[in-house]
Amino acid sequence: MKILFPVVLALQLALVAPSFAQQAASTTSIDGIAAVVNEDVILKSELARAMANVQQQYASRTNELPPHDILEKQILERLILQRLQVARAQQSGITVDDQELGQAIESIAQNNKVSVDQLRQQLAQQGQSFDSFRNAVRDELLTQRLKQAYAQGAVHVSESEVNAALAAQSNTGTQLHLANLVVALPTGATPEQIATGQKKIDGVKGLIDRKEMDFTAAAIRYSDASNALDGGDLGWRSAQEIPAAFAQVIGSMKPGDVAGPIRGATGFQLLKLVETRDGSAGLGTVTQYHTRQILVKSKDPANDPKGKARAETLRARLAGGANFAKIAESDSDDAVGRSNSGDTGWRSQDGLGAEVGAAVAALRDGEVSQPVQTKDGWVIAQRVASRQGVAASDDQRGAMRETIGRRKLEDAYDRFLREMRGEAYVDVRVGADATPQQPAQDATPAAPAPPAKKKG
């Protein structure tokens, strides 16, 4: 099963720091080490930059951020986990080539409505080199691909699970917007650790119940979950895609209610029902199209004669008998499309987008469209086949499979990260968790290699 991960690099980079392992020996004397992670280091400058980015994001609501020391600990932990994921991805043979990296940076620039050169200038004004930014983007892509690879091997959604979830949704038609707050417990927690966790979660619940702090602020400040800085937001789910421990209470909750604390696999948890909506819209019989597509990417399709000419040349080759799948593999600017011969699977006209959907609907099975101008460039579409189907049994089956897979992946990948973190050598050099260090014997010492594995 394939679980898709949207690439929102422009937002995620606030918590991504570039890898400076190669520069550690020459920079640590004037910078300083925030943490040693196996054979890599996180510099204090990286931590400071990530801190500044988060604080800038919350500039209009600084009261929602935890105290400086707690925020620093949260962000450093994210940087540690990112380092470990990048290292694991590289050990697993996962790579990002220069072309893919260039496309990602171009996408970031477009999302910020600037050119790549303007992005480079902005980074320089902020005191960040373009090389370090490229490293940060590469690390983020490696992390996403590690998660994708993990999902392929560890997350499986059966047809019976999809059937049960769709049946339940058709009966209730309700989707839930949820948020959670987690007080984590270590594997094999002692009675004392469990009691401490129970006391903390009870205290946080008391603050929320007494309206001394809203749920979002409490999650940012106290949650141990990876979505803490997002206020614990879990997004929209069907009633069947909630944590199993809350299945008994969710039916009686109203928007704004907070349930828990409940002891789960990872610790103690609170769950908030933010809002509800009708999830049954879109059911019915629709025409679906199986298509292949070739993308000629352009920053400004309306004013790009070279891009349009390239698209028309590809269309002429197809008219001359060239194989559509082969052309998609060799010439499409869509990396995902190249990997699967341009195949987009079965989609409704709306699911194909306004411009392409209209063009495909006007074709007969087997025909190829003229280049269609879209916001991303020109698309040449081949209508492979068409059929009448029930949206719930096709489009919505895919969406439901994705929803179930994401929920399973969240739980499984969180356990994977905790295990990886527990096995790593981590030496924190800042904050309350800092390990006392011996005075340096050399003015410019290299980052020390860990003498032995240590639980961090």
Which part of the chain is CATH 3.10.50.40? 174-279, 285-392
Q: 174-279: what fold? A: Chitinase A; domain 3 (3.10.50)
Contact 251, 168 (CB under 8 A): no
Query: According to CATH, what is the number of the domain 285-392?
Result: 3.10.50.40
Determine the pLDDT at residue 3.
45
d(CA 301, CA 22): 41
What residue spans in the chain does CATH classification 1.10.4030.10 cover? 9-154+414-428
**pLDDT recorded at residue 285:** 56
pLDDT at residue 87, rounded to an integer: 94
CATH entry, 9-154+414-428, from 3.40.50.300, 1.10.4030.10, 2.60.40.10, 3.40.640.10: 1.10.4030.10
Question: Cβ(332)–Cβ(294) under 8 Å?
Answer: yes
How do the pLDDT tens digits run along the chain, 456 residues long?
A: 444 444 434 334 433 334 433 334 444 445 799 999 999 999 998 899 888 888 887 888 777 788 888 889 889 998 999 999 999 999 999 999 999 899 889 988 888 888 999 999 988 887 778 998 899 899 999 998 998 888 877 888 876 777 677 666 665 567 789 999 999 888 788 999 999 999 999 999 999 999 999 999 999 989 988 788 888 998 887 766 676 677 778 878 899 999 999 998 779 999 999 998 876 554 455 688 999 999 999 988 889 999 999 999 999 999 999 999 999 999 999 887 788 899 988 787 877 888 999 999 999 999 999 999 998 899 999 999 998 754 555 566 777 788 788 778 877 888 889 889 989 999 999 887 776 544 433 333 333 334 444 444
CB 357 within 8 A of CB 374: no
pTM of the model: 0.56
Question: How far is it, in rounded angstroms, from Cα 141 to Cα 84?
Answer: 14
